[in-house]
Amino acid sequence: MSKVIKGGMVCTADRTWKADVLIEGEKIKQIGEDLKGDEYIDAEGAYVIPGGIDPHTHLEMPFMGTTAAETFESGTWAAAVGGTTMVVDFCLPGADGSIKNAINEWHRKSAPQICSDIGYHMAITGWDETVFNEMKDAVDMGVNSFKHFMAYKGALMIEDDEMFASFKRCAELGALPMVHAENGDLVAELQQKYFDQGITGPEGHAYSRPPELEGEAANRAITIADTAGVPLYIVHVSCEQTHEAIRRARQKGMRVYGEPLIQFLTLDESEYFNKDWDHAARRVMSPPFRSKDHQDSLWAGLQAGSLQVVATDHAAFSTEQKRAGRDDFRIIPNGSNGLEERLAVLWTEGVETGRLTPNEFVAATSTNIAKILNIYPQKGAIVEGADADIVVWDPKITKTISPANHHSILDYNVFEGFEVKAQSRYTLSRGEVIWAWGQNSQPQPGRGRFVPRPAFPSANVALSKWKELNSPKMIKRDPLNIPAGI
Ligand code: DUC
Ligand code: ZN
Ligand code: ZN
Ligand code: ZN
């Protein structure tokens, strides 16, 4: 059975043109004019874009004494409704610390549930010989990126020497290190300080995680990556300080990538001062929302290309779960939603406002991350031979975001009340229509697949002055013959 997506404007990261797309089985067979097939999908008046890829989700994540409420099933279904056809979820080691077991556990949980495709990043939360060895197993299992938490002291946080060891291992394996950049030691100090001053509500969360602590950690991670000779991906970039660190590194030739979240681009710190405790607590995530100036910096980064990817860090905890921190902001489970809303909100606040072109929108929601994670052009592209993960994106459907009409399991939505100006008319995952506007029928859980991501070619390494200095050409000082003046 072949399908033709008919009459739309194909919009990729580099251009927009009128064409039909012929799909045979799971793949794109042909792109051209007047194509014929067994079935037709109407794309008249709409854009035909590569399915969104959200590279940052925490579905059913065990975290802060509870488990994220969004399941693999509800999460991937909500994603499909919103035009996202692949998520990359963060895999955390269990009590035994084993990476291999953790990946298998993620497969066990996700495989029967996922409505569309998935990949994983593996978190490195400590360092020993087993971790060193099992990082190779992870790469062989199709996980080519490793996340390091510089915050969450006493839980997930990793020390600099451990991070350096892990980054060097990434360089050897052709894997990509990622960091959650916040100075966890100082966050813990500031949390205690504000709590002791009697600031127990969600505003204490914002006060204790200032942008300076994020920028410091970003700079530190960049230095460690550069010293290890490996590229670096900085997740959830929230502020100018981190953006500045990334710009500086890139200008020196280093491959450092930055990922602002849709929440950071559109919601600000005033949310934490809302009189309604539930409202504020539902928005507690790390890093926290920032001021308008920081938002401007993130938009500028997307425009100029110094920031490449818009993600969500979708970590959905119910109001009930958030209330565990009623008397102490430090134990409010950290996380907020966005998986279903990411494309529509970015379109509305980015494209409709003239900040981004439709092509830049596609790059930031799909193509750039497919390249960074080494799954391009299987994903993130509309080219012959690619997976037919395609969204018929309708810039005429408007919607007011509300928990009453969303597909997430959550009892609230941090974007509640946003009027979005585009929606997915059809979402296709490997050639199957998994969402059609107005029909609201959920695809078969378990139809999604794990997408293995191969190791990077060795050329993809950092290119810094430090590496040159450290090359065999480096002049060794003779301690017995130190020239005058040194
Ligand atoms: N930040 C969050 O807000 N939630 C999950 C993990 C993280 O780093
Ligand atoms: Zn430390
Ligand atoms: Zn994080
Ligand atoms: Zn996260």
371: Cβ below 6 Å to ligand 1?
no
Which ligand 1 atom is the nearest neighbour of the CA of 63?
5
Among residues 123, 65, 51, 154, the alpha carbon closest in space to that of 451 is found at 51
28-56 pLDDT, tens digit per residue, is: 999 999 999 999 999 999 999 999 999 99
* pLDDT over 60 at 306, yes or no: yes
Q: Is 157 helix (H, G, I), strand (E, B) or coil?
A: strand
| Ligand 1 atom closest to 336 (CA) | 3
Residue bearing the CA closest to ligand 1, atom 5: 335
Q: Note the ligand closest to the C-alpha atom of 184.
A: 2
pLDDT digits (tens, 9 = 90+) for 372-424: 999 999 999 999 999 999 999 999 999 999 999 999 999 999 999 999 999 99
Q: Which residues surround ligand 3, an ion (CB under 5 A)?
A: 180
Is ligand 1 within 6 A of the CB of residue 282?
no
pTM as predicted: 0.95
Rounded Cα–Cα distance for residues 64 and 333 (Å)? 6
pLDDT at 463 over 70: no
88 ligand 1 Cβ < 6 A? no
For the Cβ of 315 lying below 6 angstroms from any atom of ligand 1, the answer is yes
Tokens of 55: 């590279």
> Residue 284 carries which side chain, given as an amino acid letter?
V
> How sure is the predictor about 460, in pLDDT bands with cuts at 50, 70 and 90?
very low
pLDDT for 118-172, tens place per residue? Answer: 999 999 999 999 999 999 999 999 999 999 999 999 999 999 999 999 999 999 9
> Over pLDDT 70: what percentage of the chain?
94
Ligand 3 centroid vs 376 CA: distance in angstroms? 25
Q: What is the DSSP string of 396-465?
A: T--EE--TTT--SS-S--TTTT-EES-EEEEEEETTEEEEETTT--PPPTT---B---PPPPTT-S---H
